[in-house]
Amino acid sequence: MKRICLFPGTFDPLTLGHVDIINRALPLFDKIVVGIGLNSSKAPMFTAEQRLEWIRDIYKDEERVEGAVYEGLTIDYCKKIGAHFILRGIRYVSDFEYEKTIADANRTLDRTIETIFLTGEPKYTSVASTIVRDILRNGGDASLFLPEVVFKSLPK
């Protein structure tokens, strides 16, 4: 059985913190699907197509990573793609408390899908998409938080 993992998120934008988690998870799985979840309660800064393009550009030479866009419950999308693992990145204790609640709910819905937590590298602890969006909205330099592919694609 292939070890397929879903790394769900909004990735609005995809940050160096996200890339760090994906890269460090690669030895653990046969395939990682970076799933851009569409959430009607959020108004993203970047289109799902743009976010998907970033994933594809960054991992164009890594066949074990693919991007996808999905709606609905993450657990249902896992079943659709045959993923038995959900990958989540943790920066702070507060992240763990929030993520554990979701992991517990997902385990209740399907005991065959396990959530795996990876802690972020300390240098990426302050990297959050919300903060990066604020920097971008206010004309600041977000290059220190973004992969080069993402930064170069932003309007100047």
User: Which residues are known catalytic residues?
Assistant: 18, 42, 91, 129
Q: Is 122 helix (H, G, I), strand (E, B) or coil?
A: helix
Q: Provide CB contacts within 8 A for 108, sequence distance 6+.
A: none
Q: Is 58 helix (H, G, I), strand (E, B) or coil?
A: helix
Q: Taking a C-beta distance cutoff of 8 angstroms, is the pair 28, 3 a contact?
A: yes
Which two three-digit tokens encode residue 94? 């507060």
> Which contiguous run of DSSP H or E holds residue 118?
strand 114-119
User: Looking up tokens 């170069």, which residue turns up?
Assistant: 152
Torsion of CA 98, 99, 103, 105, to 10 degrees: 30
